[in-house]
Structure 1
Amino acid sequence: MTAVQLGAPAGPSAARRRAVWLAAWPLTAVFMLSNVPTPLFVLWQHRIGFATGTLTVVFATYIGGLLLALPVAGVLSDRYGRRTVLFPAVLAGLVACLLYATAGGVAALLVARLLTGLAVGAAVPAGMAAVADVAGPERRRLASLAGSVAIGSGLAAGPLLAGCAAQLLPAPTVTAFAVEAALLLSALLVVRGLPQVRHEGGAGPWLRLPSVPRPNRRDLLASLAAYMPGMTGTSFLLAFGPSMLANLLGTSNRIVAGGSAFVMFGASTGVQFAVSRWRTHRLLATAAVATAAGMVAVVLAVRAGSIALLLAAAVLAGAGQGMSQLGGFSLLNARVPTGRLAESNAALSAWGYLFAGILPVAAGYLSDARGIAFSATVLGLTVAGTAAIGMLFVLRLGRAE
């Protein structure tokens, strides 16, 4: 394969901007994989036969893989180069595609989700840092926008692709993951052209909990105050959305299921362009408000059996996730030294995904015991309350600065 060369070009500004956006393509391809299974989970559930609690465990195994990768990927990327981490990340995604396409039992789905999590957990810190490397120090804000939008675009496109395949085409799991595998192969071409930036000054063991430099701890806390509930809100809707549509709202149409996820992450992507010039603390506080409103809308949707309210919840949750993601990465990108940037990105992602993995699994088992309406209400109100507390914390830190 021929590499696409993406070192920061010395040419006109437009060429440099294109290079930054192209460098973000591997993030889009990998994050598509994370959400392609979303409309297919109900199909697998009916074909293989497992309870809602098992479904949320399969869904959250992705979080487990991600949390295994993040403590290693950020440090390795800073010390040994972005390509060193991104190549195996994309290859893990390709193996996951094969497992998804041929899955005949829960075990195959669990391994595929684990590999997906490993791919995403490696791609987030290394990919975001690689985009920053291509952008250069004078375009840090553009790098944050390009990387965050690339993630949101992948999250949006994946479920729409799978939903259309499941509703309109034969062998939907094979078709959807064959397309995704082709996209991952194209991402390998981009990875080959990325600059192999290394930072030799890093200290400490290469296997450790990802962290930020001491002066940046308040920045990480401010980011997490909005990012943790934002990620949990979208994770909740991804895990429960198809079941809510099927069990509460009376539709099993896979395009509707995939379309609702597309709407959610489409809102996540679109809102980032609209607010890209906002101050980071304003971004984070507004994100927390949107997340809280989205979770209240979820509670109202399941109580009223309303598709319109569920779509409104998806838009609000997506906007909250998008703004918290952009605000968090922008804050770290602007203030963390380059030699610790990938590790800092890993720290933000690790804590955000940990919160996003625990609550939906607990809600899945609660759903088996008490019903989906009850569990959705409990989780929705919990996340809304957490987001409200996060908003107050961010505002307090913003005033202190």
Structure 2
Amino acid sequence: MSCAEASNPVPGNLFSPRAMHVFAAVTLAAILGGSSAPTPLYHLYQQSWQLAPVMLTVIFSVYALVLLATLLTLGSLSDYVGRRPILFAGLVLSVLSMALFALASSAEWLIAARAVQGLAAGILSSTLGATLLDTNPRTGPLVNSTTPLLGMSVGALGSSALVTYAPRPTELIYEVLLALFVILAVLVWRMPETALRKPGALASLRPQISVPRQARAALLCISPSNIANWSLGGFYLSLMPSLLRVATGLDSPFVGGGLVALLTLSGATGILIARHWQPNRILLAGTSTVAVGVAITLAGVERQEVALMLFGTFVAGLGFGTSFYAATRTIMPLALPNERAGLLAAFFLQSYLAFSLPVIILGWLIPVLGLVAATQIYGSIVIALALMSLVATLLMGRR
């Protein structure tokens, strides 16, 4: 069945496949925006409830771990039951997670909210990615790569603005997102279905994690960079606003959220700049830029200069986006069609573990070393990992 055949609106639908493409992009941005919205609030939660640094990282990381488990089990379910039912279920879960955030009165509430949010994001991200490819195979991959980063930028910056300048800082951003998800949940039933039902839904729930022999060397080459990349993202989304306050004395949620937004926005910019380059060139540029950017950021922390931290974040963000884009373009073409799902699962497993576990370890170290000293060690490891991939890429290019 062709995409055009699957995408023809059925009676009762008001919108075209093109509208479905826009809807999927907006929803993907909203979901990822919701994932970064709590970041500017973590310091407020920590002050109000006397939370230890490790608890902040656990609250952040439970989202990534649940999202990973969901991707591995439910990630392909929409191929069998249709896109719209899964999108609706994910949006309902998103509404529930925002309600839990808005009502939160303890760390346990936040952990529950983040777990539900991770479940929703896992269901939605894979289904929305498939929908974007269904409705426009030509632009779908680029939209899939840039929209999450743009959404996270808007989420972090919008949340920061509301926390800084609007009333009820721990509630309003979630109420705004809750209303948005309700609207999207209603609209999804006015969109055309792009995938027909077929047998095999239960079998699709079994995780398939494998790395084809022909892709192992390439995955090994990009792994240090990928781990560095996701570890960097995990740090920014969990602890960067706290670091800004401790290192510079600047207690502004707007600037803290702005640093997170700058990382993801420059990441999307990097993808747009490098999208026509060869994967090897993108990986070389991305790994070196991450290393330089993190080094500049650490220098800004040491010298207590916000401007230097901002510039370092911008440079690191360019590498953050291009390295991720290069990693997928390097390994995925090496898999046969029947091997891609297993390889992508292995890649996600590595990525989301790197997104969550290192910052939990860092949270345990902060009371012992202090946030600034622990960050210097963490950043140095990120730089070393990026440089390892840079050297490996250069060596593979000479073969």
TM-score, structure 1 as length reference: 0.86
* Distance in 1 separating the partners of 2:275 and 2:293: 21
Q: Counterparts in 2 of 1:262-273, with a 5 A limit? A: 262-273=261-272
Q: Deviations over 1:202-232 (max 9, x none)?
A: 9966322544655555565555443321121
Q: Counterparts in 2 of 1:149-228, with a 5 A limit? A: 149-188=146-185, 189-190=187-188, 192-196=191-195, 206-211=205-210, 215-217=214-216, 220-221=219-220, 224-228=223-227
Q: Find the counterpart in structure 2 of residue 231 from structure 1.
A: 230
Change (3 A) 1:194 1:186: farther
Change (3 A) 1:178 1:303: same
Q: Counterparts in 2 of 1:25-64, with a 5 A limit? A: 25-64=26-65
Change (3 A) 1:19 1:287: farther
Q: Find the counterpart in structure 1 of residue 326 from structure 2.
A: 327
Q: CA RMSD in A?
A: 3.0
Q: Find the counterpart in structure 2 of residue 115 from structure 1.
A: 116
Change (3 A) 1:203 1:33: closer
Q: Counterparts in 2 of 1:25-104, with a 5 A limit? A: 25-104=26-105
Look up the SS of the partner of 1:119 in the other structure: helix
Q: Which amino acid aligns with 1:56?
A: T
TM-superposed deviation, 1:234: 1.9
Q: Which amino acid aligns with 2:158?
A: L
TM-superposed deviation, 1:23: 2.9
Q: Identify unmatched segments of 5+ residues in structure 2.
A: 10-15
Look up the SS of the partner of 1:150 in the other structure: helix
Q: Counterparts in 2 of 1:215-294, with a 5 A limit? A: 215-217=214-216, 220-221=219-220, 224-294=223-293
* Distance in 2 separating the partners of 1:394 and 1:81: 40
Contact 1:78 1:340 in 2 (8 A): no
Contact 1:86 1:126 in 2 (8 A): yes
Contact 1:125 1:346 in 2 (8 A): no
Q: Deviations over 1:261-292 (max 9, x none)?
A: 11111111222211111122322232222222
TM-superposed deviation, 1:333: 6.2
* Distance in 2 separating the partners of 1:314 and 1:362: 22
Change (3 A) 1:395 1:125: farther
Q: Find the counterpart in structure 2 of residue 295 from structure 1.
A: 294
Change (3 A) 1:316 1:340: same
Q: Identify unmatched segments of 5+ residues in structure 1.
A: 10-14
Q: Find the counterpart in structure 1 of residue 310 from structure 2.
A: 311
TM-score, structure 2 as length reference: 0.86
Contact 1:264 1:318 in 2 (8 A): yes
* % same residue: 27
* Distance in 2 separating the partners of 1:225 and 1:273: 23
Number of equivalences: 387
TM-superposed deviation, 1:346: 4.1
TM-superposed deviation, 1:6: 9.3
Q: Deviations over 1:327-368 (max 9, x none)?
A: 334456656566765665444333111012111111112111
Higher-Rg member (1/2): 2
Q: Find the counterpart in structure 2 of residue 349 from structure 1.
A: 348
TM-superposed deviation, 1:101: 0.8
TM-superposed deviation, 1:255: 1.0
* Distance in 2 separating the partners of 1:110 and 1:222: 35
Change (3 A) 1:76 1:70: same
TM-superposed deviation, 1:61: 1.4
